[in-house]
Amino acid sequence: MEGNRKDVGRITTRNIAIFILFLVGLVSLYSNVLWFLRYLYPLKYEEYIVKYADEYGVDPYLVAAVIKVESNFSPEAVSPKGAMGLMQIMPDTARWAAEQIGIGNIKAREFFNPGVNIRIGTWYLAGLIKEFKDTDLALAAYNGGRGNVREWIKSGIFDKKKNPNFIPFEETRRFVQKVKKAYFWYKRLYDFETRT
């Protein structure tokens, strides 16, 4: 009987040791997965994202997701169509938005300034969200043009309930899907301190 107690004691001690090693392994795995996901979904310029998201009433995770998809947080990014900076703003749109915001006449090189670019891009995104009252439509307008989105609504092409892939432009449809995926991960990986 006494021999059985020693065996039970050893088994219990061994089981506890295995359990502790298992927990250490899980924590290590979680840390590596978290590191990998943060590598895939980086975050830079958080102070500007939070500041202008608060100022213009936009979800900061959405702003981060747009930046991720548009430029992967590269402030010097230029698209083949000429969109510039972190939020890939077209020069004419940026100049118009800068006038509306009260920044005044800005030079093209200023589009690459993270603070200026995020401010203009977030203001523009806020306007689209307010106009279309739908995040998917606002994102589609951000990428494919507000005039096109207005036309989709007018012609009846837009109906998310009947067709979740309502966006006729493939590039714009992929853009919206990518932003939504990035938004999902930014919400889980980061904690923005906002006033709203």
**Alpha-carbon distance values, 68 to 43, 117, 182, 192 (Å):** 8, 14, 7, 16
> CA-CA distance, 34 to 155, in Å (whole number)?
44
76 is catalytic: no
Strand partners, 184: none
Instruction: Transcribe 17-84 into DSSP letters.
Output: HHHHHHHHHHHHHHHHHHHHHHHHS----HHHHHHHHHHHT--HHHHHHHHHHHHTT-TT-B-TT--B
Strand partners, 78: 84
Using a 10 angstrom Cβ sphere, with 0-12 exposed, 13-18 middle and 19 or more buried, the burial of residue 183 is buried
- Provide the angle, in degrees to the nearest 10, between the axes of the packed helices 114-132 and 60-71: 110
Q: Would you give the DSSP letter of residue 114?
A: H
Strand partners, 84: 78, 89
Query: Vertex 148, ends 88 and 128: CA angle to 5°?
Result: 55
Of residues 2, 55, 70, 76, which has the active-site annotation? 70
| Residues with a known catalytic role | 70
